[in-house]
Amino acid sequence: MMQHQLALQARFRPETLERVLRVVRHRGFQVCSMNMATDINPENINIELTVASPRSIDLLFSQLSKLVDVACVEVQQLTSQQIRA
């Protein structure tokens, strides 16, 4: 499996994090680590995700970008590191 690191900027609403995690799961990715912090503007949040999957990160990137409360998605790092379960 490959690991991918994503950075998201989103509107701070109760359902935003749930929607992001649901899309990650539905697209066949596993969350390895997650960090969320409020932005300078308290109405926005920054979410950093490290996910793992044999699937292409493009599938997840395009679906996360379509979420209403997500303003920006960036793939920060791609590694071909093997993960052992």
pLDDT digits (tens, 9 = 90+) for 6-53: 999 999 998 999 999 999 999 999 999 999 998 788 899 999 999 999
Instruction: Looking at 3-75, list the stretches that DSSP marks H as alpha helix, in order from N- to C-terminal side.
Output: 16-26, 57-65
Residue 44 in domain? yes
Residue whose C-alpha is closest to residue 45's, from 68, 82, 11, 73: 11
Tokens of 40: 């300078």
In a domain, 47, yes or no: yes
Q: Does residue 50 fall inside a structural domain?
A: yes
Look at residue 80 in the predicted model and tell me its pLDDT: 52
Asked, for residue 84, whether it belongs to a domain, the answer is no
Whole domain around residue 17: which residue ranges?
A: 2-79
Count of domains in the chain? 1
> Looking at the domain assignment, is residue 72 inside a domain?
yes
85 domain-assigned? no
